[in-house]
Amino acid sequence: MVRKINVFDTTLRDGEQTPGVNLNFEEKLQIAVQLERLGVDIIEAGFPAASEGDFQAVKTIAETVKGSSVTGLSRSVRKEIDAAWDALKVGTEPRIHVFIATSPIHMEHKLRMTPDQVIENAVDSVKYASERFPHVQWSAEDACRSDLDFLVRIIEKVIDAGAEVINLPDTVGYITQEEIRHIFTYVRENVPNIDKAILSTHCHDDLGMATANSLAAIEAGAGQVEGTINGIGERAGNAALEEIAVALKIRNDHYQAETGFTLNEIKRTSSLVSKLTGMIVPNNKAVIGDNAFAHESGIHQDGVLKETTTYEIITPELVGVSSNRMVLGKLSGRHAFKEKVQSLGYNATEEEINRVFKEFKRLADKKKEITDDDIFALMTEEKAGETIKHYDLQTLQVSYGTTNIPTATITMTNPDGETLQEAATGSGSVEAIYNTIERIIGKEIVLKDYRIQSTTGGRDALAEVYVQIEFDNDEASGRGTANDVLEASARAYINAVNRVLNQKKWPRKNIEKIHV
């Protein structure tokens, strides 16, 4: 029998506790609507007593989202429960999440309460909340470092007071899988009225074990799992819900449990959360990282081309990624190389492939990732039987000041290997650069599109410029990457010109689009 595990998403509450993350009202609403589409059962929209902004966001989300239950967090403080009620009462099935810490460290040093005072406080707040809310969740903060018999005592009392979900968080990401299984089993076996409540797990990732611990708690009877999208959250973050949902799906044979997630909404949700929070997803992140479906080494690529299940336990489509990706580099093999050449529109013979493959390996030794442009250049050389001739940027100098006319001075080599230097002005630095390049090339170049983005985060991020040009009765796109935006702009322009020249030499059947 497959058990349904309720998913409690706290991206908008614990996730927003990520240092540096601050979502505004519209952003929170946008994420909540996507979480509903993903199939989250309960959305923790915020902490209504924390600020007027959070109160309004929780209220609007409760008014708007009808497909998921909406909740808000509150300390065991009556006026915070009142604030939560004011924000959540507009929802279809108002739900509150009240918490208090139960570990000796927290009770003694933070709350400065005795265990009996904590029990009294917890019971009072749950009773007070149940008089208003039809659904009350109670959390024992730092449960996984709490005394088990104390936990059993307090849980029995808060269930009697009206709590229907009991959450046992690993607040500081300290527990191991065996230990969390023991805690959940112990509570299930020793709390007399436990059948009146659902047990929930809420793990943090301080030791990188949040997903594993959440799954272990599910094995030991948790009926609800809490976490965030992309695993964002306080310190090292929370359990990543996408990982848990996909693990339950892929290892259904083992867990015999599933979530209600529409799994192919995962990628979209992850991208939205990443974009709005500014928390970049690492390439190697499980399930949603850019490399999760990328294959770089020859043996793997060959296997995947023959039968995807050789190296893919999750299909990209399952989580909403359109296809897997072959990354060509020095570890790639002939099969993947041939596949790429064909996908670029070449009808190459085996001999041509073999010859160019050698060149490709030579290039790959010098360059980390071989792009479509590189393959195109190699194939052009092969087909033309000669070295590709192109323009190359040698030096770039730009003079800019708020009261000066921007001027660019550029040195470039032309396809005949001659070095040329020119200078020109423009209304801005980029225009000055483009006017100078046009002067060197000696033909009109029409800029049809210009886009810029940073490829990584931080102040030292690389700039990536994309341009679309019309040149010599042809059109091409170009891309340039550099630490400096002006250099990236120059490189993109020159790249586009070279692509026009290459196209003329060796027209491709399918000129691939450069995606930005």
Ligand X SMILES: CC(=O)SCCNC(=O)CCNC(=O)[C@H](O)C(C)(C)COP(=O)(O)OP(=O)(O)OC[C@H]1O[C@@H](n2cnc3c(N)ncnc32)[C@H](O)[C@@H]1OP(=O)(O)O
Residues near ligand X (CB under 6 A) are 14, 17, 47, 49-50, 75-77, 99-100, 110-111, 141, 171, 234
Verify binding: residue 44, ligand KIV, rule CB under 6 A. Answer: no
CA 257 to chain centre: 25
188-207 residues in contact with ligand KIV (CB under 6 A) are: 202, 204
Q: Which amino acid is at 199?
A: L
Q: Which two tokens stand for residue 349?
A: 């013979």
Comparing C-alpha atoms, which of 200, 245, 264 is closest to residue 226? 200
Nearer to Mg ion, 166 or 326 (CB): 166
Residue 432: left (phi > 0), alpha (psi -120 to 50), or beta?
alpha
Q: Which is nearer to Mg ion, 14 or 265 (CB)?
A: 14
Q: How far is the CB of 17 from ligand KIV (least distance, A)?
A: 8
Instruction: Name the binder of 49 from Mg ion, ligand KIV, ligand X, none, CB < 5-8 A by kind.
Output: ligand X
| Residue from the set 9, 14, 16, 27 that interacts with Mg ion by CB under 5 A | 14
# chain residues binding ligand KIV, by CB under 6 A: 10
Tokens representing 436 are 């100078």
Is 238 labelled as part of a ligand binding site?
yes
Site for ligand KIV in 144-183 (CB under 6 A): 167, 169, 171
- 202 annotated to bind ligand: yes
Two structure tokens written together for 139: 């959390």
Element (H, E) at 265: none
Contact partner, 156, from Mg ion, ligand X, ligand KIV, none, Cβ < 5-8 Å per class: none
Q: Nearer Cβ to ligand KIV, position 171 or 213?
A: 171
CA distance 122 to 129: 10
Instruction: Choose the stretch contacting Mg ion; rule: CB under 5 A; options: 11-19, 41-49, 90-98, 395-403.
Output: 11-19
Nearer to ligand KIV, 72 or 480 (CB): 72
Extract the tokens encoding 74.
């509150």
Which CB sits closer to ligand X, 209 or 441?
209
Q: Which listed option, ligand KIV, Mg ion, ligand X, none, makes contact with residue 137 (CB within 5 to 8 Å by class)? A: none
Binding test (CB under 6 A) with ligand KIV, winner from 125, 139, 301, 324: 139
Are 508 and 345 in contact, with CB atoms under 8 Å apart?
A: yes
CB closer to ligand KIV, 57 vs 328:
57
Segment 431-439 long-range contacts (CB within 8 Å, at least 24 positions apart): 431/406, 432/398, 432/406, 432/407, 432/408, 433/396, 433/398, 433/408, 433/486, 433/489, 433/490, 433/493, 434/489, 434/493, 435/408, 436/408, 436/409, 436/410, 437/410, 437/412, 437/490, 437/493, 437/494, 437/497
**Where does this chain bind Mg ion (CB under 5 A)?**
14
